[in-house]
Amino acid sequence: MLDWTLLGAIAGTIALLYFTWGYFERRRSRRGAARAADLAELGEEVVPPSLHPVIDPDLCIGSGSCTRACPEGNVLEVVDGRAHLVNPLACVGHGACAAACPVGAIKLVFGTARRGVELPAIDPDFQTNLPGVYIVGELGGMGLIRNAVEQGRQAALHAARRGRRGSDVDALVIGAGPAGISAALQAQAAGLRTILVEQGEYGGTIRHYPRDKVVMTGQLELAGYGTVRRRTMSKEELLALWDDVRARAGLDIRTGVTIDRIAARGGEWEVGGAHFSARAGSVMLALGRRGSPRRLGVPGEELAKVHYRLLEPEPFAGHHVLVVGGGNAAADVALALARFRRCASVTLSYRRRQLARLRSSVRHELDAALAARTVIPALGTTVESIEPHSVTLRDERGVRTTIPNDAVIVQIGGTAPTELLRSIGVDLVTKRGEA
């Protein structure tokens, strides 16, 4: 005899689970739709400069596996049963979403049909159209640290196999970030006379990250040093690693060197800049994409109180600080100053009213800081002028507001070093939604 009580209980449990699942799915879909609408308002400018996913809606079954696989957490959302790219500038090209998709509905591309991304043309060994000139890391369109390290290693191995020596140095590596450090280590391990030059500080842009910033690393194969296996590392941990590499590997590193010319001379490359020149058999460009910081172009920007990076918050104790920008870098700076708790005030100015370019972890912390006003929102404003003790902001209606100010930190990106590439004859290609 059937136990109708038991069957009823099972049916009720199934129904409860179904309606609970449906509730959370609808809530997630509404959240994704709202973020997709915010993205639509921003238009094509939100296309990332690196590799990012494109979803085929005819293939997508809305499983959500891609959203769960993304390490950044808020790049993709399922909306109305299909995955959507809702935060493209938070994407750094992990590719985990494509690997996780059970039906192959995701491909990884650069740019879009309407807005292309200009990248150097490189072969599978990361060599450009100029024999002996390599491009590795972020400048080639790949932003992950583990990718940069691997590209530097492979490029140096290829340079060693070529066997071309230089009058002064066999391998000249330009840029002392993860890609450059890895390339220099591998070149030295392969027996090449190697010099690593950097216009800023050893370690690259990582040194400019706010305190305690966490970055994705993964497994790093560092020639002559060993294998480092860490899924994530803080800024301080990663810098400690690079400093240990420097101390143990004995690399020839020159900082404060800006390279402005590279020319072919008798089967080798003549490289020069202020107070530096060398002839090299191979040149490896690990410059990154940031290049020179982008400026506001407003009166007063030449004042000494205007900065383009934050190393440590201590110099801003007691100061009214304005952070300008709407991306992860600007949010990181504002949050680092807010956590410091010793600034007179921290204000965030962004020309749009929505901050649609943030990673989930950053967004949650910034939302809390804005609500608590440890970071004062000035969204929908632009900087009109900078004065010695104040800043004037203008909103979308043209209304001007002058606020007390002791320091301005500009975080609106930079100009990629494509002019140097053009000057030496590196072929550039524009990717428009291409793999």
Q: How many CB atoms lie within 10 A of CB 29?
A: 18
Q: What is the pLDDT of residue 21?
A: 62
Whether domain 294-413 has CATH 3.40.630.30: no
Q: What is the pLDDT of residue 41?
A: 47
Q: What is the pLDDT of residue 168?
A: 96
Digitized pLDDT (tens) for each residue of the chain, 435 residues in all: 457 777 777 777 887 776 776 666 666 656 655 555 555 544 444 566 677 888 888 999 888 888 888 876 678 888 888 888 887 766 777 778 888 899 998 898 887 777 777 889 999 999 999 999 999 988 887 768 888 999 999 999 999 999 999 999 999 999 999 999 999 999 999 999 999 999 888 998 788 776 777 777 788 999 999 999 988 888 899 999 999 999 999 999 999 888 888 999 989 999 998 789 999 999 999 987 666 678 899 999 999 999 988 878 999 999 999 999 998 889 999 999 999 999 999 999 999 988 877 877 788 899 999 999 999 999 999 999 999 999 999 999 999 999 999 999 999 977 667 778 988 999 998 887 777
Domain topology for 118-291+416-431: FAD/NAD(P)-binding domain (3.50.50)
User: Is 294-413 the same fold as 118-291+416-431?
Assistant: yes
Q: What is the pLDDT of residue 195?
A: 97
Question: Which amino acid, 25?
Answer: E
* Residue pLDDT, tens place only, 203-235: 987 887 767 777 777 889 999 999 999 888 888
Question: Which amino acid, 105?
Answer: A
Q: What is the pLDDT of residue 249?
A: 94
| 281 within 8 A of 268, measured Cβ to Cβ | yes
> Which sequence spans correspond to the domains of the chain?
24-109, 118-291+416-431, 294-413
Q: 140-170 burial string, b = 16+ CB within 10 Å, else e?
A: bbbbbbbbbbbbbbbbbbbbbeeebebeebb
| 137 within 8 A of 149, measured Cβ to Cβ | no
CATH code of the domain made up of 24-109 = 3.30.70.20
| 392 within 8 A of 80, measured Cβ to Cβ | no
CA distances from 10 to 175, 250, 277 (A): 64, 69, 79
